[in-house]
Amino acid sequence: MLLKPLPALTILLLGSVTFAQQKPLSAIDKKVEALLAKMTLDEKIGQLNQYSADGLATGPLTENGNKFQQIKEGKVGAMLNVRGAKDTRMVQGYAMQSRLKIPLLFGLDVIHGYRTTFPIPLAEAASWDMRAIQSSARVSATEAAAGGIHWTFAPMVDIARDPRWGRVMEGAGEDPYLGSMIAAARVHGFQGNGLGNLDAVMACVKHFAAYGAAIGGRDYNTVDISDRTLWETYLPPFKAAADAGAATFMNSFNELNGIPASGNRYLQTDILKGKWHFKGFIVSDWGSISEMVAHGFAKDGKQAGEEAINAGNDMDMEGHSYINNLAQLVKEKKVPMSRVDDAVRRILRKKFEMGLFDDPYRFSNEDRESKVLNLAPNHEIARDVARKSIVLLKNDNELLPLSKNLKNIALIGPLAKADKDMMGFWSVMWENDHLVSLYEGLQNKLGNNTNLLYSQGCDVTDTSKRGFAEAIAAAKQAEVVIMAVGEHFDMSGEAKSRANIHIPGIQEDLVKAIVETGKPVVVLTMSGRPMIFNYTADHANAILQTWWLGSEAGNAIADVLFGDYNPSGKLPMSFPRSEGQIPVYYNYKSTGRPSQNDLGINYRSGYNDLPNSPRYAFGYGLSYTTFAFSDLKLSKNKFSKNESTTVTCTIKNTGPYAGEEVVQLYLRQLVGTVTRPVKELKGFEKISLKPGESKTVSFVIGKEQLSFYNQQMQWGTEPGEFRLMIGNSSDHILLQDKFELVN
C-alpha cells in the first residue's frame, strides 16, 4: 500500500507525543537491555548465527570449523536438527560453558508431527476443519517440546497455484482466505497458551515471501509477480500468522521482482516489521543469505551479509555470512550497530519468553520426554485428522462405503502395503516408529471372514508390466478391488519439482488392466500434490484422494472405505487435466473474451484442445450422503460501506448417512476500478448433520469481505454490484443472489 507522506508539523508532533508516551520497559525488555550491555560485538554476532547438527542435515552443509567449540565460545545463538531431550541437553551444555551462558535455541522442521506423524499439511488443509488442524499442531508442539525443541520451522503458508512445485505438500493450497485461516490455526496450535509453557514451541512462518510463485514450478526459482498479486494472493496468510502472534518468520530462497527475499528491505523491514508491527525475529532460510552471491545480488558472502542484515534479516541459518563478516562490516560502518542490537534484542527476547534463562534445560527432560511421545491419545487425534483429510472424488452407484461382510477383497497397487510412504516428506523420521499401512488398516478393520487378496501389480516407477497378470488374477477372485497408487513420500517436497505430474510410471495402465476385469474398482490416489489421472477419473468406480496421511494412514482410510467415517474433505487446490493448464486456479479473472463452453474456440480465452476448467476444482469433495441447500436470504440487498448484510441459508442432510458439509461462500464484485476475480472465497462453515437434519448457516458480509486494493494500491471498498454465490465447491454453486454496496 502506498502511504501518503505526512506534513512536517505532524511528524514533529507525533515524534514528541511518542517520546513522551513511550511505554516503560517490560520486565523482559529490562533483562534484555542489561544483558545486551554486557555483550561484546562478537557475542552479539554469535546470537545471530545458526548452525545445523551434522547428522540430520536438511540442506547442503558447509564446513565451518568445530561447531561445538564455537558454541562454547559464544559464537552460536541457535541450532537446528538437534533433537531429543538427551542431545539437546548435551549441546545446551556447551552453551553453558560460554562466558555469558546465553542459552541456545533448538529449531527443527516439525511440519506434520514429531513422533506421531500427521497428514501432510496440504492434506490437512483438505479437512477445512480449523479445530482439527490446530489440534494436530498442538500435539506436534507438545511432543517436540518434550523432545527439547523450542522452535518449529512451520507453518509454511506459501500459496501455491502450481502443482509441479514439490513444496505444495507443505502448504494449504491455492486460496488466500482458506490459507489465512489455516495459518492462524497452526500458529495457535504450535504456540498453545503462549511461549514459556512447557508444551509450546515458537512458530516460524515461512517462506517470506511469495516462494510459492516460483516460475514453472521449479523449486528455488525466480518469482516475478505484480504488487497486486503479492498483496492479494501471497501475503494474506503471512499477515494472518503475524496477527495470530507468530514468534518468528523465515525468509525465502527466491528473489521477488529482482530482489532476493533475504536481502529484501521492502518485505522484511517495511512490511513485516514496519506496517505489520512484527516484534519477533526473522531467520534466513538455509544458506539463503550466502546464496545471494549466486543470485548475482552480492559479490561475496560479506556483501550478502551486509545486504541481509540491513534489509531486516536477523538470524543467519547455515549461511556463515554473519559470523564471518559482520564484525568487519560494523567496523567499516556498513552495518549500523543499532541494527545489530535490534536483531540481538529480538532473539534474546524470545529466549527470555521461553524461560530459557531461568533454566536452559527446561525442555530437555528425558523423563518427561518418555511420558509424552507417541501416546495413544495423540494417535487418536492423528487418525481423526487423517480421515478428515481424505477427499471423495468419485463414487458411482454408491459403491462406497463398502460392506464389512465382503468375502474377498483384492488389494492391488504399489502403495497398498507401503508404510514409509505414509509419513510424507517432512516427517522427522524415527526409525522405530510405526506407520499403519493400508493393508494393515484393512486387516485391523476386517475380521477373519474377509480374505484380502494382495498383489502389488507394479512398483511406483516401474516400466515393466510383469506383475499385471497376478494382479488381474487377484481382482477376478474378488467382489471388489481396492487399488493404492500414487507417489513415494519423497516425490513431493523440497527440491522435488516435477514436470510430469501424472500418476508416475505405469500405474494407470495397471488401473486400466484392473478396470477391464469388470470388477468394481476403488482407487486410492496417494500423493503430496494434485496429480493427473484422467483414465482413472473416467473409468474407476470410486476414487479417494488420500495424500500421505501419517502414522494412522491405513486405519483412517479403512474408516472411510467401510463407512465408519463419512468423507468430508474438500480440495484445497485444483487438480488439473493436463500440465499444459498450469497454473489453473479457481479465482481467475474474466478477461475480455471469457471462454464459452469451457473452451477457447471462436476467439475466446482458452485452449482449443482442452477445457479451461480443472479435472477437480478447488473446494470439491463428495460425501456418502447428500445435502440440499435452500432458503438463501440477505438481511439487506443494499447497504453502505459501514454497514453489513447477514446472509443465511439452510442445509439439509437428504441422504442416508450422518455427514459433514463445507458450506462455501464466494463473492464477485462485478465492476471495479480494477478488475476482480470471477469468484473469491470469503467465508465457509463446516457443519455436521444427521440424516434428515437441517441447519441454518449465516455469514456476515461487510467491509472486510468487500475490500480490495484499488489502482493506487489502497485497501478499501468501491460501491457497486456484487454476486453472492454459495455452494459445496467453487464449481458447484447452489444458491445465488446479488447485492449492492452504496456510498
Instruction: Encode burial over 365-392: b for 16+ CB neighbours within 10 A, e otherwise.
Output: beebbeebbbeeebbebbbbbbbbbbbb
Selected binder of ligand BGC within 158, 285, 291, 316 (CB under 6 A): 285
Of 285 and 316, nearer to ligand BGC (C-beta) is 285
By beta-carbon proximity to ligand BGC, the closer residue of 285 and 369 is: 285
3-state secondary structure 79-137: EECCCCHHHHHHHHHHHCCCCCCCCCEEEECCCCECCCECCCHHHHHCCCCHHHHHHHH
Cα gap 525→545, rounded to integer Å: 5
- Smaller CB distance to ligand BGC: residue 58 or 197? 58
> How many whole angstroms separate alpha carbon 253 and alpha carbon 256?
10
Burial of 230 (0-12, 13-18, 19+ CB in 10 A): buried
What residues form DSSP beta bridges with 202?
151
Looking at the Cβ atoms of 156 and 471, the one nearer to ligand BGC is 156
Q: Which is nearer to ligand BGC, 107 or 727 (CB)?
A: 107
Residue 58 binds ligand BGC (CB under 6 A): yes
Point out the residue whose Cβ comes nearest to ligand BGC.
58
Q: Which residues contact 377 (CB under 8 A, 6 or more apart)?
A: none
* Nearer Cβ to ligand BGC (220/699): 220
Q: Is 552 left (phi over 0), alpha (psi -120 to 50) or beta?
A: alpha
Q: How far apart are CA 133 and CA 415, in angstroms?
A: 25
In angstroms, what is the minimal distance from the CB of 87 to ligand BGC?
17
> Of 157 and 474, which CB lies nearer to ligand BGC in the complex structure?
157
**d(Cα 190, Cα 128) in Å, to the nearest integer?**
18
Total number of residues that touch ligand BGC (CB under 6 A): 9
Q: Phi and psi for 556 in degrees, rounded to 5?
A: -65, -40
C-beta closer to ligand BGC: residue 291 or 661 = 291
Rank residues 210 and 460 by Cβ distance to ligand BGC and give the closer one: 210
* Residue of 492, 487, 625, 468 lying closest to 545 (CA atoms): 487
Instruction: Write down the least CB distance from residue 178 to ligand BGC, Å.
Output: 21
State which of residues 28, 29, 59, 479 lies at the interface with ligand BGC (CB under 6 A). 59
Q: Is 109 a binder of ligand BGC (CB under 6 A)?
A: yes
Going by C-alpha positions, the residue among 487, 332, 341 that lies closest to residue 413 is: 487
Q: State whether the Cα torsion 408-409-412-417 is positive or negative.
A: negative
Closer to ligand BGC by Cβ: residue 109 or 384: 109
Of 177, 286, 565, 616, which lies in the binding site for ligand BGC, with binding defined by CB under 6 A?
Answer: 286
Q: Closest approach of Cβ 80 to ligand BGC, in Å?
A: 6
Contact 440, 557 (CB under 8 A): no
Output the smallest distance, CB 25 to ligand BGC, in A: 33
Hey, is 347 helix, strand or coil?
helix
User: What letter would DSSP give residue 622?
Assistant: B
Residue pair 528/501 in contact (Cβ under 8 Å)? The answer is: no
Q: Is 118 in the site for ligand BGC (CB under 6 A)?
A: no
Q: Which is nearer to ligand BGC, 261 or 706 (CB)?
A: 261
Q: Which residue has the cell 486387516?
A: 443
Q: Smallest gap, in angstroms, from Cβ of residue 407 to ligand BGC?
A: 48
Strands 391-395 and 542-545: antiparallel
Touching ligand BGC, residues 606-645 (CB under 6 A): none
Q: Is 106 in the site for ligand BGC (CB under 6 A)?
A: no
3-class secondary structure, 649: strand
Rule CB under 6 A: which of 494-533 touch ligand BGC?
Answer: 494
Decide: helix, strand or coil at residue 147: coil
- DSSP letters along 255-321, please? EETTEEGGG-HIIIIIIIIIIT---SEEE--TTTTTTHHHHTS-SSHHHHHHHHHHHT--BEES--H
- The pattern of x and - marking residues 449 through 488 that bind ligand BGC according to CB under 6 A reads ----------------------------------------
Least CB distance to ligand BGC at residue 75 (A): 20
Report in angstroms how near the CB of residue 151 gets to ligand BGC at its nearest: 10
Among 51, 153, 266, 322, binds ligand BGC (CB under 6 A): 153
Q: How far is CA 207 from CA 251, 538, 546, in A?
A: 5, 37, 26
Instruction: Name the helix (H) or strand (E) containing 35.
Output: helix 27-38
What is the distance between the alpha carbons of residues 481 and 418, in angstroms, rounded to a whole number?
A: 17
Q: Within positions 62 to 101, which residues make up the interface with ligand BGC, using CB under 6 A? A: 80
- Least distance to ligand BGC, CB of residue 238, Å: 14
Marked catalytic residue, from 109, 175, 199, 285: 285
User: What's the grid cell of residue 65?
Assistant: 570449523
Nearer to ligand BGC (CB atom), residue 199 or residue 291: 291
Cβ 701 to ligand BGC shortest distance, Å: 36
Q: Give the burial string for 607-616 (b: 16+ CB within 10 Å, else e).
A: beeebbbbbb
SS3 assignment for 682-722: EEEEEEEECCCCEEEEEEEECHHHHCEECCCCCEECCCEEE
**Per-residue string for binding with ligand BGC, 231-270, x by CB under 6 A?**
----------------------------------------
- Shortest Cβ distance from residue 285 to ligand BGC (Å)? 5
Which of 206, 239, 273, 686 contacts ligand BGC by CB under 6 A? 206
Residue 221 is a binding residue for ligand BGC (CB under 6 A): no
Window 311-370: residues binding ligand BGC (CB under 6 A):
none
Helices 130-146/376-389 angle, 10° precision: 140
* Least CB distance to ligand BGC at residue 78 (A): 12
Query: What are the cell numbers at 735?
Result: 444458491
To the query of whether residue 285 is one of the catalytic residues in this protein, the response is yes
Closest C-alpha among 660, 695, 679 to residue 126:
660
- In the complex, the smallest distance separating the C-beta of residue 490 from ligand BGC, rounded to whole angstroms, is 14
* Chain positions contacting ligand BGC, by CB under 6 A: 58-59, 80, 109, 153, 206, 285-286, 494
Q: Which residues are tagged catalytic?
A: 285
